[in-house]
């Protein structure tokens, strides 16, 4: 039991020393890799947060939607409801 515990401790120390040695031997590629991973994780997190916020927010009407609404309001005072309904069916 003690021999098995010592063997596991030795394997754990070896596993922990290998990455440290690699980083010491190749510092620039390691830092570039970690920088890229950070950028990737940041993009994923921001995309997730922004998409959930956009789903909660009500879409703002575009300029063309605002103009269309103003034209319909102005025409509703002049045209009959049947003609206005026909006009809306053409533009929808």
pLDDT at position 51: 78
Asked if 74 contacts 87 with a C-beta cutoff of 8 angstroms, the reply is no
pLDDT tens per residue across span 22-81 = 888 889 999 999 999 999 999 999 888 887 777 777 778 889 888 888 888 888 888 888
Higher pLDDT, 1 or 16: 16
In the 8-state DSSP scheme, what is residue 79? Answer: S
Both tokens assigned to 31: 């830092």
Taking the whole predicted model, whether its pTM rises above 0.85 is answered as no
Cα–Cα dist 66/46, whole Å: 31
Both tokens assigned to 18: 């290998």
- Segments making up each domain of the chain, as ranges: 1-59, 60-92
pLDDT at position 41: 94
Q: Is the pLDDT of residue 92 over 70?
A: no
Asked if 13 contacts 6 with a C-beta cutoff of 8 angstroms, the reply is no
Both tokens assigned to 60: 């703002």
pLDDT at position 40: 93
* Averaged pLDDT, 1-23: 77
Q: What is the largest CA-CA distance in the chain?
A: 96
Both tokens assigned to 39: 């950028």
């Amino acid at each position: 039991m003690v021999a098995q515990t010592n063997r596991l401790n030795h394997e754990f120390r070896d596993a922990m020393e290998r990455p440290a040695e690699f980083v010491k031997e190749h510092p620039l590629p390691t830092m570039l890799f970690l920088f890229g991973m950070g950028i990737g994780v940041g993009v994923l997190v921001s995309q997730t947060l922004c998409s959930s916020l956009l789903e909660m927010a009500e879409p703002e009407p575009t300029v063309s939607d605002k103009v269309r609404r103003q034209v319909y309001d102005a025409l509703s005072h002049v045209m009959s409801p049947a003609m206005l309904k026909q006009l809306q069916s053409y533009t929808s």
